[in-house]
Amino acid sequence: MKCPLCGLEFEESEGLAACKSCPVSRTCGLVKCPNCGYEVPGDPQVVKLIKKWRKNKNET
Ligand SMILES: [Zn+2]
């Protein structure tokens, strides 16, 4: 995957390892760029959940 901030291409596993110290690492679903530390949403399922949540919020 590619970091949208610095453009570095890296493996998702690298990013997950970089986010290991994150207190919510098991649920945050973010992949951290090893170069600049930008957190990229790596898990499509999480993105789906957020989109669903946003949709629900707009409806109410
Ligand atoms: Zn980066």
* Ligand 1 centroid, distance to 47 Cα (angstroms): 19
* Ligand 1 centroid, distance to 16 Cα (angstroms): 13
Q: Cα–chain-centroid distance for residue 2?
A: 12
Q: What is the pLDDT of residue 1?
A: 84
pTM for the model stands at 0.52
* Ligand 1 centroid, distance to 52 Cα (angstroms): 27
* Ligand 1 centroid, distance to 57 Cα (angstroms): 31
Domain boundaries, the chain: 12-59
Q: What is the pLDDT of residue 37?
A: 84
Q: What is the pLDDT of residue 6?
A: 93
Q: What is the pLDDT along the chain (60 residues), one digit of tens a residue?
A: 888 889 999 888 777 666 666 665 555 667 888 888 888 776 566 556 667 888 887 766
Cα–Cα distance measured from residue 14 to residue 3, given in angstroms and rounded to the nearest whole number? 12
Cα–Cα distance measured from residue 60 to residue 35, given in angstroms and rounded to the nearest whole number? 40
